[in-house]
Amino acid sequence: MSGEGKVVCVTGASGFIASWLVKHLLHRGYTVHATVRSLKDPNKVSHLLALDGAKERLHLFEADLLEKNSFDPAINGCEGVFHTASPVSFSPSATKVELVDPAVKGTLNVLGSCGRTPSVKRVVVTSSTAAVMYKSNPISPTDVIDETWFSDKEFAEETKQWYVLSKVLAEEAAWKYAGENSIDMVSLHPSLVIGPLLQPIINFSSEVILKLIKEGKDFMTSSPLLNCYVDVRDVANAHIEAFEMPSASGRYCLVGEPMHSSQVLKIVGQVYPSLAIPEKYKEDLPIFKVSQEKAKSLGINFTSIEVSLKDTIESFKEKNFLRF
């Protein structure tokens, strides 16, 4: 097993991506130090403790993004750190303080702990395509988005897209700090992440799909950010490969397939004809291309959206988020 004898840390371990990351790390033989906000909350820890290998090689730590040095105990003795902890929300009621401060300060707190820990060899930071493709000029069907793209933070501020701004500023701060402190860092930029849930509560990206299926709610009209999909298992594997592969460096876009919401509904309706799929709505956003070349250099073969959607819906049924 590739991780046998190695110790790594996963921040925000109760989250959608992080839970799968912990599962895959344990499967590969790693010992995992996992941070959560509250060890007393069963929604944060019960599914992690139930994973294969957890009894022998999973150690849980309480840590707070805004509390300086709170990640020191979890990162102590670790060879790799996967920083996934960051608030996610596209809600109009979400505030700049709620999203930007934890993302930026939390990232710097985690990197600070890494800088004080000589055993750390590489840090993998989970960012988002929100830090890549949010622009004032509309993206056209002829555009090919790749890792050289950067979102417009002034436009994000102007349009009050605080989640986008949080990802842009956190990534900027991370690269600056890593450079100044000689930290070997890689950043991953997944799009809307779908697939089966390990955690008992629904996360933001899964809720996007659930509301789309149940209500036809269109989150996609104001931004192209949520018109791209990637499987959570592919994202988890990409994190591990980004840590294990010596040649991995810089940024990696993780996008399985750009697709209109109406096409998503069409696929779901074909697989589950008994579902009352809402009527299609106007497709007023262009579908663009996203390069997979660099992501595939990590050895990632993206799961088809048909498989991802089916597994997502089966998970919704199993957890009683969707009945039909």
Q: State pLDDT tens for residues 162-205.
A: 999 999 999 999 999 999 999 999 999 999 999 999 999 999 89
How far apart are alpha carbons 179 and 191 in whole angstroms? 26
Domain ranges of the chain: 7-190+230-255+290-300
Residue 9 CB: number of other CB atoms within 10 A? 30
What pLDDT shows up at residue 98?
A: 86
Intervals of the chain under pLDDT 50: 220-222
Q: Looking at domain 7-190+230-255+290-300, what is its CATH homologous superfamily?
A: NAD(P)-binding Rossmann-like Domain (3.40.50.720)
Q: Which residue has tokens 């709505």?
A: 281
**What is the pLDDT at residue 220?**
46
Tens digits of per-residue pLDDT, 263-310?
A: 888 899 889 988 877 765 555 555 788 999 999 999 999 999 999 999
Q: What is the pLDDT of residue 279?
A: 66
Q: What is the distance between the alpha carbons of residues 156 and 245, in angstroms, rounded to a whole number?
A: 34
The count of C-alpha atoms lying within 13 angstroms of the C-alpha of 170, restricted to the half-sphere facing its C-beta, is 35
Report the pLDDT value the prediction gives residue 221, as an integer from 0 to 100: 46
